[in-house]
Amino acid sequence: MDTATVLPTIRLHADDNVVVALRLLATGEAIGTDGIIADGRIPAGHKVAVRAIAEGEPIRRYGEIIGFAGRGIAPGEHVHTHNCVLHEFNRQYEFSTAVIPTAPITPQATFQGIVRPDGRVATRNYLAILSSVNCSATVSRHIADAFRRHPVTGDGLLADFPNVDGVVALTHRTGCGQAYVGEGIDVLRRTMGGYARHPNFAATFIIGLGCETNQVADIITTQRLKMAPTMRAFTIQEMGGARKTIERGIDQIRELLPDANRVVRQPVPASELILALQCGGSDGMSGITANPALGVASDLLVRHGGTVVLAETPETYGAEHLLTRRAVSREVGEKLLALFDWWRDYTARSGGEFDNNPSPGNKAGGITTIVEKSLGAMAKAGTTNLVDVVRYAEPVRAKGFVFMDTPGYDPVSATGQVAGGANLVCFTTGRGSVFGCVPAPSVKVATNTALARRMPEDMDLNAGGIVEGTDTIEACGQRIFDTLLRVASGEPTRSETQGFGESEFAPWQIGAVM
């Protein structure tokens, strides 16, 4: 993509029969190619046909099929949901045909991290209260509330502990009314186990009611958690009620705060970073600006020895054939494709289909089909090899580019990535998602300058200059990478400053609620 010359539209691949408007196009305005003019008002981020497209003919963006013409489309015509439809079509699955050596970068980048006694590296220093069930959520929140810093003065029980980032309650709406055994409870326990062990927590308290399906003892056993001063668990019923449980929780956290405050940041290699890749509130610019720029940052992190985790399986539909080509082995590629078989069955049982996604906001921003959304979303993962595919909330152990099976709903997806070990999140948005993900800091990148100017308190970076001729994908990607290192070193993100992150804890609820 040539950003040196600013045109009203951009063509992303020579095979494309549509271009994307970089700004609002007026009726009759030249779209910048072959003398074609817009036959109507075309919003920024939306597509325009650059030649006649017959009914049923594929519509191509990124050089890939994103849908089919629902009727004949004339040159200069707006291409969107009114004339573009999606149906199943064959894709050519190849395995490992695009695998290339990953060139390491030396010397390796570093950041100021927190090294735990067991060697794990943290980017933040929280204490966590995990509720096993919704019935213990209020008690968990009351304990955390006792340690809230005053937003202006900083006063409170943490005032004397500046190295503690906070005491947080991670609550949810499930934990009972579900099968005692099976996929649903396994996923919930695996998620809780991942958070309980997360290096960004100096200590973890698991609080239950006592009679729920998701028994605290079973969480400890199945997740192989070892009770210690920094890993404690109790239930409201055994404590003698809510008030006594709250008092015990507050007292025990007070005991641990002096030790938790003694952490000292020190230089550690970037290979200790596990970056969760997220996009939400996407628009037609996402796949042009912020996502490919994040892809550059992802490649840099992998080349420095780190790990990036792409997720949101339903939002990879239609682009999976490009990922199998990057799989280091056929086995890894087949693991990815098996996820789509599961999702086809899962959505069918739920009376849905893949193209229920994109959201209304995505469509308003110019994204027409899930395939178009997926092709833009996968750019976040850069160009390096796909080294592993893991289940939701499963520990991420491989170095490099990893795919995790998650829903497309951002809080649920990011919760799985953090449970898998992600200690940092980068989240691109075109419409303006406000998102945080305690305990992992979340860096948000705006896809367009209008958003960055409209919501400056929520956006950490702006990638909009890429289409304005003032920035490049490579330069923006380097800026994202540098920002990630600073944030991993303790620099607060916009979402952290505004207190986002606890309410976004959302384990994936699979199965019947009974």
Whether 495 contacts 442, CB under 8 Å? yes
Token pair belonging to 160: 């004397």
Write the CATH number of the domain with boundaries 126-260.
3.40.50
- What averages of pLDDT result for each successive group of 10 residues across the chain (514 residues)? 64 96 94 89 96 97 96 97 92 94 96 97 98 98 93 86 97 95 96 98 98 97 97 97 98 97 98 97 94 98 98 94 97 97 89 77 93 95 98 98 97 98 98 96 97 97 96 98 98 96 95 84
Please, what CATH class does the domain formed by 1-90 belong to?
Answer: mainly beta
Residue 411: the pLDDT is 97
Residue 6: the pLDDT is 65
Phi, psi of 201 (to 5 degrees): -105, 120
Helix and strand counts by DSSP (H, E) for the chain: 14, 21
Token pair belonging to 198: 């997360």
Residue count (the chain) = 514
State how far the Cα of 22 lies from the Cα of 44, in Å rounded to an integer.
5
pTM above 0.85, yes or no: yes
What are the domain boundaries of the chain? 1-90, 126-260, 270-497
**Residue 228 neighbours by CB distance under 10 Å:** 9
